[in-house]
Amino acid sequence: MQKFDYRAPRFLVDFPAQLAIENSTHAGRCKEISVDGMRLELAERVSANTVGTVTMSFGSLTVELGTRIMHTEPNCAGLKFIYANERQRKDVERLVTLLAASAKLPKEPKQQGPLLLG
């Protein structure tokens, strides 16, 4: 019998996030998120299999949690969240829910804040 690994739903978004690795901090933009991880667009390339901390904010909610860089491309990295406790998981679930709930088609070309793309 074949085992299937189901992935959590992913959402296309665009909001700022910071990735801290060792003694450096990389500002980036979250382009895709799920409760399992995110795709982070970065100006500098980072190394795969590196552990760090990602910080994300939306409205009054700020989430900081451990992450492992699973894969990299020239301008982005795929991060897997490392939850230290159930509270962190609930905070990420809440963040994803808030982003999905705030999704509206922009009436003006310049929209402030995160934008849910899909």
Q: What CA–CA distance (Å, rounded) separates 24 from 41?
A: 16
pTM for the model = 0.80
In the block, which residue shows the tokens 């301008």? 75
Instruction: Spell out the domain ranges in the chain.
Output: 11-97
Strands 37-42 vs 61-73: parallel, antiparallel or unpaired? unpaired
Q: What CA–CA distance (Å, rounded) separates 93 from 90?
A: 5
The one-letter amino acid at 85:
N
Q: Which architecture characterizes domain 11-97 according to CATH?
A: Beta Barrel (2.40)
Give average pLDDT by consecutive 10-residue segment, the chain, 118 residues: 67 92 94 94 93 93 95 94 96 89 52 52
